[in-house]
Structure 1
Amino acid sequence: MVSGVTVVAANGPAVNVSSVNVTPTDPTVGETVTVEVTISNQEGSNSIVDVSSIMLRTTSEHYERVEDVGAIAPGGSLTIPITTSFDTAGEKELLAHVSAASQSNGSETSHLRAYYRPITIDVEAPEIDAGIAASTNSSGETTVTLTNYGNVELTDAEIRTSVNGTQRDQRDMFDITPNQSESVTFDTANYDSDIVTLTGAYTARGERHEVTRTVDLNQQVQGEIRLTSVEITERGTTISVDGEAANIGGTDVESVLVRVPDSDTVSPAGGSGEFFVGSVDASEFATFELSSSVSNGTDTLPIELTYIVDDERITTTQTIDISTAGSSSPEPSQDQPAASSTGDGSSGSLGLPLIPLILGLFVVVGGSGVLYWLWNRE
């Protein structure tokens, strides 16, 4: 993010640091960041401007410097890319520092002057996280999807299938950017077993990783809700949570409810402690927003997930780290999903609200009594 306006030295030439663009906008630790700094010589200027150097710096530290940038005629501009990286996560307050001088008589150059543009770059800690989902059609073709749930690009991705420990097939995939998926299809009709192990292999930040899932080709992988891309905003003792409820399974999920359970250290904030997401198709996601009040010293926030999949109601809990500003994907808690039948509609926590029904009953009964009294009085 770039903020503020250009700061120009007093009585300086008509120089303006007109824009600064940062790519990527949300870099991770160690990732190459490109900062494009545009310097312009304003219309109406009576001199050429020589740009001596451009620096990325803080008040005490210099990151990168470009020398002998070039000359800018009146009404012209230059855009210079500068690359850097950051060793730690957090919000970085930088300055695009430009040193320039004007050519007063076409050849004589005045003293260098400094021009600044403030830059704020939010550097995230790297999160490497991927998941596999699969579905098989009636023709025996199995489509396998690899989803990137982290904030680091996955490269050299591939999917392997194996039966009884023996590899049967392999498919290469395109690179997968954060919060995106890639799919490949295998002909599994002639496999000698319906139990197939799927392995997704990929490179992230120079290291090789794998994720494995064993599926039954005659039975689709059950839908499963998982919170991803979670962002935390802290305002005093109130924590706001924005994120995605992702279905990492192969069947659709219904009646998804995301809520903050009430405890000694955590409680819902006002009416924003639960969010009804609704249905989430296989390999899709939906966004949610929650607010909670936390006690001082609380480092984690439990989020309860309730949803229906294949006529069963599932309740599970994921825990989010709130000890630092910013956010990362939540780590699953040790709580295991609890399944209960929904055939009679009585289980789970998504039934009709009890208090409004009782109040409605009082109104109906009370109204009937009044009508009966008026009828008999006549």
Structure 2
Amino acid sequence: MNDRSTEAAAFVAAALLATSVLAPFVGVAGAVPDARVAVTDATVTPATPTAGAPVTVEATIRLSGASASAADLDRVAVRDSNGTVLGAATGLGTLSPGETIAVPVTLVVDEPGGYDLSVVATVSDADDETATASRPLSLAVERGAPLVEATVADAVAGADSAVDVTVSNPTTAPLRDLTVSVVEPTDGERVRRTVATLAAGASQSLNLSVRPMEAGERSIRVRVDYTTAAGTRATVTHDRAVTVDPLTADVGVRVSTATGDAAGDAAAGGAGGIAGIIGGGGGALQPSTGGDGDDDADGDRLDVTVTNFGNAAIERVVLVPRGDNGTLVSAVGRVAVADALEPGAEATVTVDLSAVETAGDIDFVARYDLAGERREAAADYDFRPKRGAVELTGLNVSLDDDGRVTIGGNLGNVGGGEVSGVVVGVAESRSATPAYPQRSYFVGTVDASEFAPFSVTGRVDAANATSIPVRVAYTAGDDRVTEVIEVPLPASRSSTGAGSFGALGVSGPVGGLLLAVGFAIPLAIGLVVRRYV
């Protein structure tokens, strides 16, 4: 080997030696930066995460004390098993060698279940060399949002329809400040309800309402806003498809005699006696017919029934009686029937017409709210007020030879109402005149179906008179009625002789004369009745 070959071999050996000496330093610079980072711990808040609610992972990051220099903590992220970042925190400042920092990372997991996650921290040193460290994290997520069930029965267009909502808490912690709202459609009387606290595993039923404006297939959305156990606000919605029916407004009003009312028991002026024969008609009580075709009924107390035959609830039902001129019958006034009547329901109120003095038609109008409008339905009633009617019964008539006449008997009230201010006396005529001691007899007030005795005296032209006029005056309702009855004189003329009459009656202002004779006299006697009102 010559000198040139020896020098070349020495150069190669020196190069190899240099390479072997520098090799460890090159490896450290390219693969292991001076910053050595580690994720020493990771905690989860709340301890029982729930789906759809925020979860905070607090990661503890430490820069090794053996690091040559400080490092910037660029990012802390939480990733799922597929590497997808669920949450991250960035721009976290600088870590000195040996320093530890806690970094919160907030994330949301939408579905319940078990998850294998990892917490990854990334740092960079002064030479922009980066290093990462990770720590596995197992996360069990429970169902967090409240369960919502909604039931809508018989939804009707334009009317409030009930929505029954049940909210359940499936978690192991209470939910607070729940607000349950119907957000579609937005109209309704009760579109929002609140629940202060819903305990773990508990359920709460709430009554709401909606007012769909159109018939057909519609969707109703219920929203629940609530506060989780972690103190954050969250929202869950529930959609329900419903069939909305067209609105049917059908309200009926029925008028009938009040239960237990004695209307119709009293005779209508005692029809059927001689008054019928001579043309007297009826009495103070007349049949009245309900507007819905009920049987005829007399009476001052009526049952008025309002029935909802439609398919939506009616509200604020008020009965308004109106007279012939359409104005309110003030003697009765408005009568509250019901706050609300559901479909198929009815309500009955009793109306007292005893203070109504004028006969005629009364419209019983039921006014109510339906689908945002004030509506009404009515029934007509032909009202005939109860009136008193008097009848003279058990008459004893005696005639002296000198023409002195004594008439005694009972005055009975055969009408439906009381009579007052009753006065009986002999009337003045060509052949008769009142006489002492009983020119007239004040009977006073006689209630319905009651009677009172009386006795009057007078004088007649005994040679020519065949009857004596008896005057009966009384007040029935607001009317002063005067009746003059020609009472037949007995055939005998003696100081003790007397003729006995079974019944001689007077009916009310629209009635006639009743006469049942207690002894035999010809009907051709020609009774004369004069009436003054």
Global fold match (TM > 0.5): no
Give TM-score scaled by structure 2 length: 0.26
Bigger Rg, which one: 2
Give TM-score scaled by structure 1 length: 0.35
